[in-house]
């Protein structure tokens, strides 16, 4: 099996790449892991300019020898290449998995909207640290290589699902890149946002015409909330916030989930997970 790593947004470090390559070699020796040099480029905020990032993604997406694209890192930037890459995806792009989260939600959502390949929300190649002991990347490889159901988010129940960072989902709304999520369970997570900003994003979600018809919402982890901008200052917990906006939206709030910017980030394939 051949898995390619590229970085459509921010770059990864050579040290991080070495760690993930060593992990894959040890636990998944049947995998040929190709980490493109573009993943290490630094041009301002980005892993190379827009053209380079787009060309690298297309190189692997359209390569029939590549079974999966495993995104290196999020940050910001994959939205800037959507208009260039989406029309250029050929037949080979429809046969592979694409795995990542955070800013990669732009690509995952756009791919799912066009039913291209198998988009998957899950840990990225940069998510191997001493603190995590490689557990997140083990989940990612477990799904890509073996379709291991043990790595799936445990509340997946056979209904179609999609998972996004809340900021990314709201940025997609009103654009041609947001998928039809009718009858889907929508999984959300967030990082680095104050509670009032989360509430404002949920207002947009609850009133978005493109999200009418979803079957329910689950909330994953909300991490790195700025100091003094959490529940105590805002006056509501996250669950109270979710219940209120889901009530306005007319869909059930189904509770918490194990997705997010932390080591507990489980795998959520877009659509119906295989075997469920």
pLDDT attached to residue 129: 65
pLDDT attached to residue 130: 55
pLDDT tens, residue by residue, 69-107: 999 999 999 999 999 999 999 999 999 999 999 999 999
Cα 99 to Cα 142: distance, rounded to the nearest angstrom: 12
pLDDT tens, residue by residue, 134-163: 899 999 999 999 999 999 999 999 999 999
Q: Counting every residue, how long is the chain?
A: 276
Pick the closest to residue 141 from 28, 254, 16 (CA basis). Answer: 28
Please give the order of strands across the beta sheet that includes 68-71: 32-35, 2-6, 68-71, 97-100, 118-121, 268-269
Superfamily for the 161-256 domain: LD-carboxypeptidase A C-terminal domain-like (3.50.30.60)
Please give the order of strands across the beta sheet that includes 185-191: 161-165, 185-191, 216-223, 253-256
pLDDT attached to residue 274: 67
pLDDT attached to residue 127: 81
Please give the C-alpha separations between residue 6 and each of 37, 59, 225, in angstroms, as whole numbers.
8, 10, 29
pLDDT tens, residue by residue, 227-239: 999 999 999 999 9
pLDDT tens, residue by residue, 159-218: 999 999 999 999 999 999 999 999 999 999 999 999 999 999 999 999 999 999 999 999
pLDDT attached to residue 134: 82
How far is C-alpha 1 from the geometric centre of its chain's CA atoms? 22
Cα 83 to Cα 140: distance, rounded to the nearest angstrom: 27
Half-sphere exposure of residue 51, counting CA atoms within 13 Å on the CB side? Answer: 0
Q: Where are the domains of the chain?
A: 2-151, 161-256
- CATH fold of 2-151 reads Rossmann fold (3.40.50)
pLDDT tens, residue by residue, 114-137: 999 999 999 999 887 656 678 999
């Amino acid at each position: 099996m051949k898995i390619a790593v590229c970085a459509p947004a921010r770059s990864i470090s050579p040290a991080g790449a070495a760690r993930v390559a060593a992990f894959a070699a040890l636990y998944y020796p049947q995998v040929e892991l190709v980490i493109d040099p573009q993943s290490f480029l630094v041009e301002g905020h980005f892993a190379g300019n827009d053209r380079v990032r787009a060309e690298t993604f297309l190189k692997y997406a359209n390569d029939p020898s590549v079974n999966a694209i495993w995104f290196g890192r999020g940050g910001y930037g994959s939205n800037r290449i959507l208009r260039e890459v989406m029309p250029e995806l050929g037949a080979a792009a429809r046969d592979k998995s694409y795995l990542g989260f955070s800013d990669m939600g732009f690509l995952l959502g756009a791919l799912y909207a066009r039913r291209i390949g198998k988009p998957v929300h899950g840990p990225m190649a940069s998510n191997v640290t001493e603190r995590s002991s490689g557990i997140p990347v083990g989940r990612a490889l477990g799904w890509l290589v073996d379709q291991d159901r043990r790595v799936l988010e445990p509340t997946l129940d056979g209904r179609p699902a999609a998972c996004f960072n809340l900021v990314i989902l709201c940025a997609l709304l009103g654009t041609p890149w947001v998928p039809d999520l009718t009858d889907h369970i929508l999984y959300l997570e967030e990082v680095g946002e104050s509670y009032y900003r989360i509430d404002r994003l949920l207002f947009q979600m609850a009133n978005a015409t493109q999200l009418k018809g979803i079957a329910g919402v689950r909330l994953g982890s909300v991490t790195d909330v700025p100091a003094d901008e959490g529940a105590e200052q805002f006056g509501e917990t996250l669950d109270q916030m979710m219940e209120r906006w889901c009530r306005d939206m007319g869909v059930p709030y189904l509770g918490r989930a194990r997705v997010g910017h932390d080591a507990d980030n489980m795998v959520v394939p877009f659509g119906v997970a295989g075997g469920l």
